[in-house]
Structure 1
Amino acid sequence: MQTLSVPSPRVAVRASWDTQQRLSYNPNAPRKPPKNPNTTSKPKTLPTVTLSVATTRSEPSVLDLLKRPSSVEEIVERDEYYMGYERWLPSPPKVQKPRSAFNAASLAYIGDCIYELYARRHFLFPPLNIEEYNDRVTAVVRCEAQDALLQKLLSENYLSEEERDVLRWGKNIGSAKTRTKRRAGAAVYNRASSLETLVGYLYLTNVKRLEEIMLKLGFTTDSSMQLILEEAKSKQDSG
């Protein structure tokens, strides 16, 4: 028996090796958002540093901030009544002896409010934006400004002996170390508190004397200074 031999086909095997390392595929990994072809990456630039020389500017004193034109006091005639109202301040509670009913801290508490009311009212005219209002009022109500105004009253011997006694009483207010007290110092802080105590005391006992003192310090106490001036000017022009 003859056997036929069938030649086996030749199979060529080609192999290739990837020399770059590939990470294994993770189906749970978050996908990167597609890049926007319209946006071009800008080269990072180092921030520019501008050297500026600090210049010292002298701030106006509290007395300069409260100054009004000299013609104001000459034109305006003060009256206890304006537009049918006796006073512009809210009526104080009736207290016979405030020093017996309240301590110095309580009077300084209400005095701080009344003092700031005078300051806000003083800067109401001419009309300003809120930021400028706040800047001017803050410059007057800070304890350093209150201390300067108190020194003005004491140096001119404007206060009575009773009022000086209230100042000494309010100067001894005990308070914790606040940020304002650390900034201005204990002595300045205590003197400012004594002025607030005097304002609160006079608000409860003698509003007329309070307005005299605030006018002496430079605060305007008329209901509307600008309207009164315009009315007085119009009368002068018509006459």
Structure 2
Amino acid sequence: MKDAEHNVDVRQLNGITLAYMGDAIYEVGIRRHLIEAGLTKPNRLQHRATRYVSAKAQAGLIALMEADDCLTSEEWDFYKRGRNAKSYTHAKNTSVITYRVSTGFEALFGFLALTEQTARITELTQWCITQVEAGRVRYAK
């Protein structure tokens, strides 16, 4: 899909660019969920959000998506583009592998956002919330 004004082909963007967008999109969905759940104190919000948005959580969620066969082949392709992308930033508080997997998770959400698949973003975000709240996520190291 090309943006008429900027002539950007989303399907040609690199994984890091997709992850940049996806990080924001997924985080907004989680923040909305937490606020709607009644959490209002910033410190509490930040602490609780980590259960959903940390690299370790995202890596655990991708493993569940694979186990539950949640993603289409195209979605897996964009996840892999992010996971395999050369990153110039360093993993903080996690392994390089976990960081790369979480970059892939974010790239998936970036692809969905930039191709305007808002219903799918909502569906996957809700699925992630359900998995975290059910205690199904095994947090990577």
Q: TM-score, normalised by structure 2?
A: 0.79
Q: Deviations over 1:71-104 (max 9, x none)?
A: xxxxxxxxxxxxxxxxxxxxxx67774122x221
Q: Compute the displacement of 1:106 (Å).
A: 0.8
Look up the match of 1:133: 45
Q: CA RMSD in A?
A: 2.0
Going from structure 1 to structure 2, the CA distance change for 1:99 and 1:195 (only over 3 Å counts) comes to same
Look up the match of 1:208: 119
**Alignment of structure 1 residues 96-115 onto 2, 5 Å:** 97-100=9-12, 102-115=13-26
Matched residue SS, 1:123: helix
Structure 1 residue 120 and structure 2 residue 44: aligned? no
Gap runs ≥5 in structure 1: 1-92, 220-239
Q: Deviations over 1:182-224 (max 9, x none)?
A: x3111111110000000000011111122111122126xxxxx
Q: Deviations over 1:18-53 (max 9, x none)?
A: xxxxxxxxxxxxxxxxxxxxxxxxxxxxxxxxxxxx
Look up the match of 1:184: 94
Q: Which residue identity does 1:188 align to in structure 2?
A: T
Contact 2:10–2:114 under 8 Å retained in 1: yes
Tell me the distance in 2 between the aligned counterparts of 1:165 and 1:212.
Answer: 19
Q: Taking CA–CA contacts closer than 8 Å with sequence separation of 6 or more, which of the two structures ends up with the larger relative contact order?
A: 2
Going from structure 1 to structure 2, the CA distance change for 1:186 and 1:135 (only over 3 Å counts) comes to same
Q: TM-score, normalised by structure 1?
A: 0.48
Tell me the distance in 1 between the aligned counterparts of 2:52 and 2:71.
Answer: 21
Structure 1 residue 148 and structure 2 residue 60: aligned? yes
Look up the match of 1:67: none
- Structure having the larger proportion of residues in helix: 2
Contact 2:16–2:85 under 8 Å retained in 1: yes
Pick the aligned partner of 1:168 from 60, 72, 80. Answer: 80
Gap runs ≥5 in structure 2: 131-141
Pick the aligned partner of 1:218 from 105, 122, 129. Answer: 129
**Alignment of structure 1 residues 55-70 onto 2, 5 Å:** none
Tell me the distance in 1 between the aligned counterparts of 2:91 and 2:124.
Answer: 29
